Amino acid sequence: MATIYGTPGNDTLTGTALADSLFGLGGNDILRGLAGRDRLDGGSGNDTLNGGTGIDTLIGGTGNDRYIVDNTGDVVTEAANAGIDTVVSSVSYVLGSNLENLTLTGSSAINGTGNNLNNSITGNNAHNSLRGGAGNDTLMGGTDNNSGNDTLYGGDGNDVLFSKNFLSGGFRIGADVLYGGNGNDTLHGGNGAKNTLDGGSGNDTYIVFSTADIIVEAANAGTDTVVSSVSYTLGSNLENLTLTGNKNINGTGNSLNNYIAGNFGSDILYGGDGNDTLVAGIGNSYDDIFGTGIFYSYSGNNYLDGGDGNDSLQGGVGNDTLFGRNGNDNLDAGLFTNVGWGYIQDKSGNDYLDGGAGNDTLKGGVGSDTLLGGAGSDLLISVVGRGANPYVSVDFSGNDYLDGGVGNDTLQGGAGSDTLIGGDGFDSLVAGTGKRSEYSNYGEWVTSLFSGNNYLDGGAGNDTLVGALNNDTLMGGSGDDRLTGKEGNDVLTGGTGADTFVFLSPLEGLDTITDFSVGQGDKIEISAAGFGIAVGDTSKFSFSSNTLFFDTTALASLQSNSGFNPSTDIKVV
């Protein structure tokens, strides 16, 4: 039996085969008891205490101490707030008071249990049962690829459970069962194994690397997220799915209101039943998205299919295809507006937007887009944007195609040479007017300076068609239509019905009216303010050689004008 004292420095003290007492005193000491019933006291400093064989008493003192345990009778004593301490045990072990971490060693099937602190517990290469207890714990099933079939219980608290130590890399051999318990837990399934993950109550996150993993989630047990690097289908009671990596994988929702996000690869996302939010991955991805709810895409050529229901689909950079299907949908080709900071970011690409049945809103972006409203009262805008803080300016371009379909539609063109077709219903078609649109929070003024040779076709119904700066073609179709060519030399065709051709200024250009019909009740409407004349005053208008004049300025050529009389067929308002 020996009593050995160290120094205030870093000492290595070794006992005998008898019952020894070792005192490290100050410094970072290493104390080895060897055989016998030893008492080891590290004192101050970050000490390592190894009692050896026998039932030993280990006292770390202050500092971050490490206890080597090989006997279930070993006693570890640690004071409160005396450091972050670790027990390394080759036998089953329960952390006592004030001990934070536990690592199991050897190849025996042993167990490890935590306490009410925030513990880190790591298993060995055999079959382990690890229990975190209270506190926010981290549990790892093993330290290498040959770890056994482990069972991990997080217990209370927000726990993180690993089926293996991911720092070692490679593939995991063995099938583990992970129970999160109460709290918002994170469960890592590991590679190449059939693991069972049960988050318990709380908002849990499941990390999945294998299609063989099984996730068990109870109803009404929180809002849970699966993060997967493989194709994955959400099981019962799981709400959210995020795909990771850059492989081409798929994500599928369930009957709940899911949030599904793609990765950097070319993904296919299915929302399933429920009002879902689907987000195409950031990166050079080419994604297909199906579901009902809210959809976002970033870069790549993406396919977004809302399915039945009221959907919100937003494209991004790239040539996107958006289908709203049945329901009142909002489709945006990808002009991103940040209202809070007052900027607009162009999302270029030649996009295809199909609203389907329902009252839809379709918004094109930069690029040559195709917008099809389908049945219902739709709003189609080839470009859109506004800023809330203090000034924003954005250039728009692209030759767009807008088709309202059946219903009372509103179609708004943008820069470029656009084609607007209202279809059946009472439609409003407005050609784009610009190079640039500017918005200011100060004084709430708006200037629009857009251009392009546009084609507007109202179709059946009482339509309103408005041209832009350049030479536009406006076709009213059947119904009582209202056509305003505005600037440029425009071609206006009212079609059947009592149509109104509007002139806002004598400086707008020379328009051609192809089918003015007195018999059908067509009229020419003049803006009194724009022409600087009194309301109802038609005295300055004359008609000669199929041309309508204001003073000496030619306003319009009437190709069909039988019986036209300026005093009766013109109204000044």
Write out the two tokens for 66.
């490490």
User: Digits of tens for pLDDT over the chain (573 positions)?
Assistant: 899 999 999 999 999 999 999 999 999 999 999 999 999 999 999 999 999 999 999 999 999 999 999 999 999 999 999 999 999 999 999 999 999 999 999 999 999 999 999 999 999 999 999 999 999 999 998 766 566 789 999 999 999 999 874 444 444 556 889 999 999 999 998 775 689 999 999 999 999 999 889 999 999 999 999 999 999 999 999 999 999 999 999 999 999 999 999 888 888 888 888 888 888 765 444 556 666 666 665 556 667 776 666 777 776 666 777 777 777 777 776 544 333 322 333 345 677 777 777 787 777 666 677 777 777 777 777 654 333 332 223 334 467 677 767 777 777 666 666 777 766 767 777 665 433 232 222 222 223 334 567 888 888 889 888 888 889 999 998 999 999 999 999 999 999 999 999 999 999 999 999 999 999 999 999 999 999 999 999 999 999 999 999 999 999 999 987 789 999 999 999
**Residue 435: its pLDDT value, please?**
32
Closest C-alpha to 566, from 542, 530, 540: 542
**Residue 297: its pLDDT value, please?**
59
Q: How far apart are CA 87 and CA 112, in angstroms?
A: 10
Burial of 203 per CB tally in 10 Å (0-12, 13-18, 19+): middle
Contact 218, 239 (CB under 8 A): no
Closest C-alpha to 526, from 546, 495, 556: 556
Closest C-alpha to 527, from 505, 501, 552: 505
Closest C-alpha to 422, from 385, 485, 374, 352: 374
In degrees and rounded to multiples of 5, residue 388 shows phi and psi of -95, -30
Radius of gyration of the chain measured on its C-alpha atoms: 38
Q: How far apart are CA 110 and CA 123, in angstroms?
A: 8
Q: Other CB atoms closer than 10 Å to residue 442's CB: what's the count?
A: 7
Contact 302, 287 (CB under 8 A): yes
**Residue 363: its pLDDT value, please?**
72
**Residue 375: its pLDDT value, please?**
75
Decide: helix, strand or coil at residue 373. Answer: coil
3-state helix, strand, coil in the chain (%, to 5): 0, 35, 60
Write out the two tokens for 151.
């069972």
In degrees and rounded to multiples of 5, residue 137 shows phi and psi of -105, 155
What is the full DSSP assignment across 136-185?
S-EEES-SSTT----EEE--SSS-EEESS-GGG-S---S--EEE--SSS-
Contact 165, 143 (CB under 8 A): yes
User: Apex CA 122: angle with CA 117 and CA 126, to 5°?
Assistant: 140
**Regarding beta strands 336-338 and 205-208, do their DSSP bridges make them parallel or antiparallel, or are they unpaired?**
unpaired
Burial of 535 per CB tally in 10 Å (0-12, 13-18, 19+): exposed
**Residue 28: its pLDDT value, please?**
98
